[in-house]
Amino acid sequence: MDFECFLDFVLALENKDTPEGLTYLFRCLDLNGRKFLTTADIHTLFRDVHQKWIEGGNYELCIEDVRDEIWDMVKPEDPLQITLADLLKCKQGGTVASMLIDVRGFWAHDNRENLLQEEEEPEEE
């Protein structure tokens, strides 16, 4: 990967909630170049995140439950595959991409209610 490609990748990660960033990341996630992701693809992509999750001392989780949660978030047109259009339409594509490529992204999703609660609590003086 040359420097320009590296910059494109970093920009996509930092802007994963934009159509351009998500489009770039989807091309990375689409390991087979089919223009869609299957449940097997989600399992493959999440396997390393799951391993890091466990190594970090977090609770055991079922990859199939995460896969089902992703399907519920995206609500794809075709129930057997997720396309870029599905990710863009659901408005949670950046979150899904983060869950699949980064243990910190999965942690943020898993702890979203706690994080929201912390943001809402007034600061003590």
Span 14-45, pLDDT tens digits: 999 999 999 999 999 999 999 999 999 999 99
Is the pLDDT confidence value at 118 over 70? no
Q: What is the pLDDT of residue 124?
A: 58
For 22, residues 6+ apart whose C-beta sits below 8 A from its C-beta are: 12, 16, 84, 87, 88, 93, 94, 97
Q: Which domains does the chain have, with CATH numbers?
A: 3-120 (1.10.238.10)
Structure tokens at 96: 């899904």
Q: How far is CA 18 from CA 44, 79, 87, 107, in A?
A: 25, 24, 11, 21
Condensed to tens digits (0 to 9), the pLDDT of residues 42-64 reads 999 999 999 999 999 988 889 99
pLDDT class of 111 with cuts at 50, 70, 90:
confident
How many residues would you count in the chain? Answer: 125
Q: Is 42 exposed, middle or buried (0-12, 13-18, 19+ CB in 10 A)?
A: buried
- Bridge partners, 37 (sequence order): 82
Distance from C-alpha of 14 to C-alpha of 26, rounded to nearest angstrom: 14
Q: What is the pTM of this model?
A: 0.83
